[in-house]
Amino acid sequence: MSEKLIKSMVSKEHMRMKKVLAVLSGLTISASLVVGCSDANQSTSTTSTKSSGAKKVVRVAYQGVLDKDTIDPLSGMMYKGKDALIQLLKKKLPDIDVQITTVPNTDWIQKTETLIKNGDVDVAWYTNQVQAADWFYDDSELMKNDKDVNLNTINKIFIPAALAYVPYRSFDKPESTGQYYGLPIDMSNYMMTYDKQIFDDWGVQPPSQNATYDELLAKAKQVTGKNPKTGKQNYGMFLKSYWLEWHSIGFNATHSIKVDGMKLSNLNIKNDVDYMKDSPDVLNYFNYLKEAMELAPKGIASGAGAEKFFTKDNDIAINLDAGTASTLLQYTYANKKDITDRFKPIFMPLSKDGKQGFPEFHKVAIAKNASDKQAAWEVVKALTTDKEIVDFQISNYDTSGLPVLQDTSGMKVMDLPLNQQRQDYHSKSIFVTDDYWYWRQPLQSVLTDLLAGKLTPEQAQSEFYNRTKKWIDDKKKQLGGS
């Protein structure tokens, strides 16, 4: 074969390859253009189109809403999907076409932020987020002009504790203090749980629903060891670092604060920080946890050890993990007597001033770049103040939640006696403060170290103070000493 022929063949092969690559590149660019230039108002998981006739369209990003009707494998309960909520909203807001984008629980912050920043939604669900000021529109102006939900009527609609958390307050953004980023749908309520059967096996009187921390520890000590009936090892208590910081309120180790303009320079260092150094309440809190650790299974440092809780093989008497409330309530709604007769709730013990728990409120708010803010406001109002819609949301998407409306008459979730008790207890005792991150984050890391055995209670107290001080100093540096 001549050299010329070989060159010509190579060149032809080259050209063919180039054509293939050109076609592939063309396809890639076309696909990118189709995806990138598609209607920004159409999200991938939104089912309906932008407009339906003359109706205004409001797109809602909602964490926790199910795509389809689903049977819960744990309780056997049937939960309604987003179509049922859309139908309900259609009935209440006939002039608005509500479209719902479901946001999964995992990484919901990133997903919600992406939807808001891309302009893909007009209303979004959120909870206790400092970034609310970046995401949402201040509703103050809309509230001024609204005849139903305005600054004069709002205190008659929501319970005081929920109302306290409606105006925005955060050390991170003092300039946004007092702005209204949406309204609350419901509140979380955490409880602890005990296993009645273990107490019966030991012949020990179980703790009361309103037991104090000291009573719980004393009871736990009595039922730690070999079960006299089964011969198996029983653990008096279970605790893990997750949410454990919220028990500090009941121990008076932390308290609520009032800060003018949410400027860190206005924080009362002596009362709200320096006390940590030598407070007997703070030391008592860490000592208590240290004692409780001795009664717990080995894996608590990594949150393990309670895998058998709510099963017939459970070996833990008192579970301090307040997250068990959600599972217990699912069984309660499903009327699973074998579980609810054995596992009973304990309300979070109160501080000296009658406060407890984590103040978590789930809210919906108008996105900063919502296309029709008035229509979005109508949807926010419906989702938060319409009893039927709130009832539907709690029943299907947040079974451990409690309504924050003052008037709960006729709401199905309140038919459950336990919910009535929780509502009474929680609405009166919920911890209200201007900001908690300045002690919460340092305390989380201290508790992690305490549970891993890296710190003694005395060292934990000292570290709690040092880390809180550092958090404040760092934040001041970032904010320019404000």
Interaction site with another protein (CB under 8 A) = 14, 18, 21-22, 25, 28-29, 107-110, 127-131, 172-173, 175, 241-242, 297-305, 437, 440-441, 444-445, 448-449, 451-454, 470, 474, 477-480
Nearer CB in complex with another protein: 107/214: 107
DSSP assignment letter at 350: P
- The pair of three-digit structure tokens given for residue 338, joined into one six-digit string: 């074998």
Q: Shortest gap between Cβ of 119 and another protein (angstroms)?
A: 18
Cα 174 to Cα 167, 177, 436, distances in angstroms: 12, 5, 14
Nearer CB in complex with another protein: 229/454: 454
Nearer CB in complex with another protein: 107/148: 107
Q: Shortest gap between Cβ of 173 and another protein (angstroms)?
A: 6
- Do the beta carbons of residue 215 and residue 207 sit within 8 Å? yes
Q: Shortest gap between Cβ of 448 and another protein (angstroms)?
A: 6
Buried/exposed 68-97: b ≥16 CB within 10 Å, e otherwise: eeeeeeebebebbbbebbbebbeebbeebb
Nearer CB in complex with another protein: 174/236: 174
Query: For residue 260, how many other CB atoms are within 10 A of its CB?
Result: 11
Q: Shortest gap between Cβ of 107 and another protein (angstroms)?
A: 6
Cα 479 to Cα 130, 173, 265, 473, distances in angstroms: 15, 9, 10, 10
Q: Shortest gap between Cβ of 421 and another protein (angstroms)?
A: 28
Q: Shortest gap between Cβ of 353 and another protein (angstroms)?
A: 25
Spatial distance between the Cα atoms of 97 and 59, rounded to a whole number of angstroms? 8
Q: Shortest gap between Cβ of 114 and another protein (angstroms)?
A: 11
Cα 280 to Cα 51, 355, 460, distances in angstroms: 62, 18, 13
The 3-state secondary structure of 121-187 reads CCEEEEECCCCHHHHECCCHHHHHCCCCCCCCCHHHHECHHHHHCCECCCCCCHHHCCCECCEEEEE
Nearer CB in complex with another protein: 130/414: 130
Nearer CB in complex with another protein: 50/476: 476
Nearer CB in complex with another protein: 213/437: 437
Nearer CB in complex with another protein: 301/383: 301
| Residue at token pair 């440092």 | 301
Q: Shortest gap between Cβ of 301 and another protein (angstroms)?
A: 3
Handedness of CA 35, 38, 43, 44 (dihedral sign): negative
Mind giving me the DSSP string for 1-36? --HHHHHHHHHHHHHHHHHHHHHHHHHHHHHHHHHH
Q: Shortest gap between Cβ of 184 and another protein (angstroms)?
A: 17
Nearer CB in complex with another protein: 13/200: 13
Sequence-distant (≥ 6) Cβ neighbours of residue 173 within 8 angstroms: 130, 133, 262
